[in-house]
Every structure is written in C-alpha cells, then in structure tokens.
Structure 1
C-alpha cells in the first residue's frame, strides 16, 4: 500500500527571532519605508485599521492593494490582500497576513501567519499553485526581514 500525503493548503506559518525590540519590529513590519527595504520595492500604507494601501513591485509592474485589518502596537499588525477582482469589501474571500510580535529575551519573536487559501474558492490546481508561491515567497522574505531588522536595530 502506498500512502499519499496531501497538504492542507490552509495556513502558512513562519517564525523568526530577532535582536530588536517589539517596538522596532512593529515599525519594520507596518511602515512603508521599512517594508520597501525587506519585502516590496515600494509601499503606500497607513497602519490604521480599515486603511487601504498598496504593495508595489518593480516600477509599478505589480501593484497589490491591501486593507489593514488590525494594529495593536507593538504586538500585532495584520492586513488582507489578494482580493478577487479587486473587491476590497469582500474580506471573506481574501488572504489574511498577520505579524505577531512577542518579547523574547533581549529581542522579539515574529510569527507570520497567512490564512484564507481554501476560502478563496480557487480550483485545486490554482489553490496549490498560490499556496506554494506564497510559501516560497515567505521563505525568502522572512529571512530578509530578520536581516533588515539586524541592520536597523544596530543604528
């Protein structure tokens, strides 16, 4: 008998410990001038619940609109993105990205969670593709977040 292991394609989780205070880490995950240093090429957003912003890659080659979901400085920043057909009102059919910041020793543990993949209504192949694409992306950008925080916290 052959066992087939299927992935859930429901939640992506990454965790990193940084030698920076939760206050500094919160600024880096929620302010556009910092986001543009470790994740996007540019960002326009205000860390206020309900605020609409943009994450920009290339010279506006890819622009993704986001809606800030929750801010609890210095412990939580979350937003929704990947809204179908750009419908920012339909939060049920969007992905939720959360950065939870917890003091840990002299630094902070950052836990990134992205949820909502199954709720998007995608066909199985697209669900798997999007999940793997986002998973690979976070595998790249979470370490870059750590590297950038190491630079910022020594200034």
Structure 2
C-alpha cells in the first residue's frame, strides 16, 4: 500500500480539485464525490461560454458561472484543511497502519506555500463569484421592476 502524501494532496486539491483529482488520489476511483465534482465545474464553464455567446444579460450565465467559482473556492478550502492537518490526524485518516509521525503526513515549506496560495486564490475566486452573482441578480430585479412599472 502506498502512503498518501499531504503536500501532494494539498496541491492536487488546489489545482485538480474541481475535477475531483484529489478525491481519486486519496480515496480511489470508487469515490462518488470525485465523479460528481466535475459537474458544477462543467456547468460553470458552460456559463462562461454562454456569456461569450449571448452577452452579459443572459439569465442562465449568472446562475451557472458562480458554480465554477464555488467549486474552485471549496477545493481551495479543502486544500487548506488538508495542509493544516497534523501528521497524526493525516496518517490516521489517509495512511492507516502507518506510524503517526510518518513522513508523508508531515508539513514542509511546499505545503505551507500551497496553503497560502489556496487561501489567496480561493478567497479571490469566492469574492468574485459572489460579486458577479449578486450584481447580476440585482440587475435582473431592476429590469423586471422596470418591466412591471411600464
């Protein structure tokens, strides 16, 4: 049995999380959530394509694009959680039977950099998704109110 490395899992969660790659690395290809994670990612990418095709006033795009942002932000949060796990907890959860202080569960500088990058990018993506979603929602509400008043 191969031991799961915390640093690799942190970076894999950050870069490949919206595709479920970290779930497959940690839990294997039988993990249902790993197979479901690409769905909101694909829907968000479809929302971006709709904006490019139909413009910013497309109702479906402002509903779909935040799904991509929330998927990326959630995976960044998971990368932070994985990176901050103690070696004992990491090895007990993902490397059962290994020594609690085994090397794959230890934190190094590359793990810390992964946590910092995930924090910065995840926060920026989450804030941008919320801002885009709320802006489009309120613009839609104003447009509907304008239609009613005329």
Question: TM-score higher than 0.5 here?
Answer: no
| TM-score normalised per structure 1 | 0.29
TM-score when normalising by structure 2: 0.29
Q: Which has the higher helix share?
A: 2
Q: Which has the larger radius of gyration?
A: 2
